[in-house]
Amino acid sequence: MELRAVPTLLFRTALVVSVAAAGAQAFTGDVPTDFTDPDVVVVMDPMDVGMPVQAMGATSGWEIQNAAFELDSFTDELHVGLDFVGIAGDADGDGNEGGSSAWLLGNGGWDFANLAATESICIAFDFDGNFQWDIIAGVSAMTNGAGYTVATAAASPLLPFAFGAAQPSLTGPFMLGPDFELTISNLSSLVNYTPTNAEVCFFYAVFAGSYADDGVGEDYMAGELCVYDRDRDSAIEGVASSFSLGANYPNPFNPTTSISFEMAETANAELAVFNMAGQKVATLVNGLVGAGSHEVSFDASNLSSGVYFYTLNSGNMVETRKMILTK
């Protein structure tokens, strides 16, 4: 899957980020652990990547669940976390990054260690809104595992090959673990940015994948993000640390229904479905969820008629509702 230099697949998201003067971000390689402050905004990836039929239901290591963004005016940094479903870079989804499965090798594909060969995870930014990428950060498909960099974006229409001249002054820390986390330093040198009550908007596009993995499928997501630089105390004053779980619709249902819920702030949450015996029969959401309203679909095609319960759990808060499946 290729990404063009002109971001034609962009959508605008109305997102507000407050900025904290909390010092440098510490990365562990796990986005749900590291991006939990109230000023973090999370954008969910609506697309799944495909796997060859030989993979028999495996989930690609390029599959991104969401992207988390945090702006820190005190350090003049933009932190980005890409939350992967499995292990970032584990192309064949066998839980062993760099260990190629037999089906992959049999079809001429490779799962390289340490993002080698053409494996790449990167994100491009357009800060001036001229529909040309300004910088690109991550691991290039041209470096053969040589490491992470922030660079001027070149004119290549393929995002993982669009790394131009390296920009050491913009290159902050990064971490590759289960997830991929990075920092863009000296943000004010890239965009008209002042620390007090300023709006910063930018286009972004994320790419994760390889051209040597037997068509495992690359993942990408893109959008426009607007952030507001505000004082954390005033930004979170009066915001309740809670959530609300809505009634599913339709109810009774057969076999699909929609479940809505609302998060007062960004936090880790799980939305799961249980049967009358208390057994978990489905997990609909599990990970970092952004503040705001959300809706997920539940398909009970493989379940029998009866009463089920769906539970939203975040921290020490739990809320449960009942739904009825009729077939």
Instruction: Give yes or no for a cis peptide into 173 (omega within 30° of 0).
Output: no
Q: What is the residue whose two structure tokens read 């959300």?
A: 294
Sheet holding 148-153, edge to edge: 12-13, 219-228, 199-209, 120-126, 135-139, 148-153, 163-166
pLDDT tens for the 327 residues of the chain, in order: 333 333 333 322 333 333 333 445 789 999 999 988 767 778 888 777 888 888 877 889 999 999 999 888 777 889 999 999 999 999 998 888 898 999 899 888 999 998 988 899 999 999 988 889 999 999 998 877 678 999 999 988 789 999 999 999 999 999 999 999 999 999 888 987 665 555 678 899 999 999 888 878 889 999 988 766 554 443 333 333 567 888 899 989 999 999 999 888 888 888 999 887 778 899 999 988 888 889 999 999 999 998 898 988 887 677 888 898 998
Instruction: Indicate where the chain has its CATH 2.60.40.3080 domain(s).
Output: 243-325
Distance CA 310, CA 250 (A): 14
CB distance 59 to 48 below 8 Å = no
Distance CA 280, CA 275 (A): 7
- What's the pLDDT at 39? 72
Under CATH, what is the fold of the domain 243-325? Immunoglobulin-like (2.60.40)
CB distance 180 to 88 below 8 Å = yes
CB distance 195 to 229 below 8 Å = yes
- What's the pLDDT at 276? 77
- What's the pLDDT at 232? 43
- What's the pLDDT at 145? 66
Distance CA 44, CA 284 (A): 14
